[in-house]
Amino acid sequence: MSMTRRKALKTGGGATLLSLLAAAGWLKPGDALAQAWNKSAFEAKSMDEAMKALGGNAPAQSKDITFVSTPDIAENGAVVPIGIASAIPKTESIAILIEKNPSTLTANFDIPPGTDPAISTRVKMAQTSNVYALVKADGKYYVASKEIKVTLGGCGG
Amino acid sequence: MPDPMKIRATLVGDSTEVKTIISHEMETGQRKDAQGKVVPAWFIQSITATYGGKTVLSAQWGPAIAKNPFLAFKFKGGAKGEKVQITWVDSRGEKRSDEAVIS
């Protein structure tokens, strides 16, 4: 696979490269990540844009990705608990995308070997929306979605 | 200097379960203040957890992570008395590291 350096930095490959550099002691972890912050992906306004910026074009639907302790209805959009677990072998990263937020991509977690491919966090949701879990495993992308109804928005106001 | 994080690391079987709450405003850049001016975005962009010099989890965040972010994950290994360290960097370039002893 041939990738220019710039391209490599933009995609997941960049994150791996940087984490390798970090492991080799060339860069401190914090510095490496700060440099690699994927601006174009986080500023994407639509699902397609965000998926493209992450390199996850046309991901396959997967039943092996589950939402754990995630509500169907969130009373307060400012604090919506989201838990995502992937049963796909060799899961490398898990991204949370919220379709109807001002910016779609919410978070992208890199899962090094030895770490369970399951994370939970809390997000903000502007309105009722589909939430997507985009999983990269063994170089391929998989996706699962869940609709969360929001009674009170968490952005603006 | 930002407030310290709350980190709890517990050994469950052969894995370590890490839970953390970070004290951070996580401004989205969408909100307006009383004068109608947009409050500029200010949020944690990256977070890294390390154990024994090895990264056990790293993430990039956007502004849609809730205020005072909560994060939970689990990694294989870990030993009682050892330390897990978490570092974050926000969009203003501010940084904070805290560590917790695995119990």
ipTM above 0.95, yes or no: no
pLDDT tens for each residue of B28-79: 998 888 898 999 999 999 999 999 999 999 999 999 999 999 999 999 999 9
Candidates A146, A132, A156, A147; CA nearest to A56 is: A132
Distance from the Cα of A32 to chain B's closest Cα (Å) equals 9
Residue contact A154–B45, C-beta within 8 A: no
pLDDT tens for each residue of A32-47: 444 478 888 999 998 8
3-state SS, residue A43: coil
Is the pTM higher than 0.80? The answer reads yes
CB A146 within 8 A of CB B95: no
CB B18 within 8 A of CB B81: no
Which residue on chain A is closest to B28 by alpha carbon? A155
Which one of B47, B58, B84, B85 makes the best mutation probe of the A interface by having the most chain A beta carbons within 10 Å? B58
The pLDDT confidence band at residue A22, using thresholds 50, 70 and 90, is very low
User: Distance between CA atoms of B103 and B83, rounded to whole angstroms?
Assistant: 10
Candidates A119, A99, A110; CA nearest to A50 is: A99
User: Distance between CA atoms of B10 and B97, rounded to whole angstroms?
Assistant: 19
Q: Tell me the mean pLDDT in the region A15-31.
A: 46
| Predicted pLDDT at A151 | 86
CB of A157 within 8 Å of any CB in chain B? yes
Q: In the CATH hierarchy, which fold is given to the domain comprising A44-150?
A: Immunoglobulin-like (2.60.40)
* A106, A111, A115 member nearest B65 (Cβ): A106
Q: Is the dihedral of CA A147, A148, A153, A156 positive or negative?
A: negative
| Predicted pLDDT at A24 | 45
Better-scored residue on pLDDT, B73 or A6: B73
Ranges of each domain in chain A: 1-37, 44-150
Ranges of each domain in chain B: 6-101
pLDDT at A23 over 50: no
pLDDT tens for each residue of A69-106: 999 999 889 999 999 999 999 999 999 999 999 999 99
CB of B45 within 8 Å of any CB in chain A? yes
Which residues in chain A touch residue B77, judged by CB atoms under 8 angstroms apart?
114
Class of B6-101 in CATH: mainly beta
pLDDT at A10 over 60: no
